[in-house]
């Protein structure tokens, strides 16, 4: 159904109801994939009353067809490639590396923009709910899961309002769980499932992180900063 979700915040509230059973897991933290995943993650963190932060990942778009993902990168030097896309389109290694260099620079910029001098949250030994606004190919989520494994998290559960069947299968192969509200038989695109799928801005990401951090009176409800 086109426009099932009014916007990302509404989708987050819908998704949060499916994640309620995780609310009391020790050390639970919600990480949103910026930018579009953060409004969804905010509503999940609000409903579960747990800390919220961002986990920065960048899609590697096919040259001249940037909306098509040939892979993704995450912090810690993690890179995940969609081998089928690379092979089918005959994408050269040099082209992949050029795209990666540009996206590494943007990843660093976003880390600074969203976090400033605030250190990343402690993740080792924790359960992570990794939230995005939708999962089309699974490349971004897989890169994020790989980076979180390197950070020695106890468990990582990927959650999104909508995803393709193929992406769900790929994510389930690497994560401890994949919870999706809608898995349509014909996926088309993430945006097709939102009435309002306008671009999320850096300012909105910062504002939501600050708002969630301000509402907690204890570590359980604050951003974890050390």
The model's pTM is 0.85
Instruction: Determine the structural domain holding residue 120 and report its residue range.
Output: 8-57+116-221
In the predicted model, what is the mean pLDDT of residues 191-218? 86
In the predicted model, what is the mean pLDDT of residues 145-154? 90
Residue 132 lies inside a defined structural domain of this protein: yes
Residue 216 lies inside a defined structural domain of this protein: yes
Residue 121 lies inside a defined structural domain of this protein: yes
Provide the number of structural domains found in the chain: 1
Q: What tens digit of pLDDT does each residue of 96-105 get?
A: 999 999 999 9
Q: What tens digit of pLDDT does each residue of 172-200 get?
A: 999 999 999 999 999 989 999 999 999 99
Look at residue 29 in the predicted model and tell me its pLDDT: 96
Residue 158 lies inside a defined structural domain of this protein: yes
Q: What tens digit of pLDDT does each residue of 14-66 get?
A: 999 999 999 888 899 999 999 999 999 999 999 999 999 999 988 899 999 88
Residue 96 lies inside a defined structural domain of this protein: no
Mean pLDDT, the chain, as a whole number? 89
Least confident of 78-92, 107-121, 125-139, 212-226: 212-226
170 has a pLDDT exceeding 80: yes
Where does the pLDDT of residue 225 fall: very low under 50, low under 70, confident under 90, or very high at 90 and above?
very low
Residue 204 lies inside a defined structural domain of this protein: yes
The CATH code of the domain that includes 194 is 3.40.50.2020
Residue 127 lies inside a defined structural domain of this protein: yes
Residue 17 lies inside a defined structural domain of this protein: yes
DSSP for the chain?
A: -TT-BSSHHHHHHHHHHHTGGGTTSTT-EEEE-TTTHHHHHHHHHHHHT--EEE--EEEEEETTEEEEEEEEEETTTEEEE-HHHHHHHT--HHHHHHHHHHHHHHHHHHHHHHHTTPPPPP-TT-EEEEE-S-BSSSHHHHHHHHHHHHTT-SEEEEEEEEB-HHHHHHHHTTSSEEEEEE--SS---SGGGBS--PPPPHHHHHHHHHHHHHH-SSGGGS----
Where does the pLDDT of residue 2 fall: very low under 50, low under 70, confident under 90, or very high at 90 and above?
low
């Amino acid at each position: 159904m086109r426009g099932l979700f009014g916007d990302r915040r509404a989708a987050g509230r819908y998704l949060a109801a499916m994640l309620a059973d995780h609310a009391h897991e020790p050390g639970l933290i919600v990480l949103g994939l910026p930018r579009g995943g953060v409004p969804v993650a905010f509503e999940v963190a609000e409903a579960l009353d747990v800390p919220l932060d961002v986990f920065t990942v960048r899609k590697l778009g096919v040259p001249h067809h940037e909306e098509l993902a040939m892979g993704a990168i995450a912090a810690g030097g993690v890179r995940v490639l969609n081998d089928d896309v690379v092979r089918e389109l005959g994408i050269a290694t040099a082209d992949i590396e050029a795209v990666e260099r540009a996206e590494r620079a943007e990843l660093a910029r976003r880390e600074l923009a969203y976090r400033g001098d605030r250190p990343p949250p402690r993740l080792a030994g924790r359960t992570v709910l990794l939230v995005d606004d939708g999962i089309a190919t699974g490349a971004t989520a897989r890169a994020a899961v790989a980076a979180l494994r390197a950070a020695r998290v106890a468990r990582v559960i990927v959650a999104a309002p909508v995803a393709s069947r193929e992406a769900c299968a790929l994510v389930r192969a690497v994560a401890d769980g994949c919870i999706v509200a809608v898995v349509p038989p014909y996926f088309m695109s993430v945006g097709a499932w939102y009435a309002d799928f306008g671009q999320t801005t850096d300012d909105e990401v910062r504002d939501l992180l600050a708002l969630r951090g301000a509402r907690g009176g204890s570590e359980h409800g604050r951003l974890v900063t050390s």
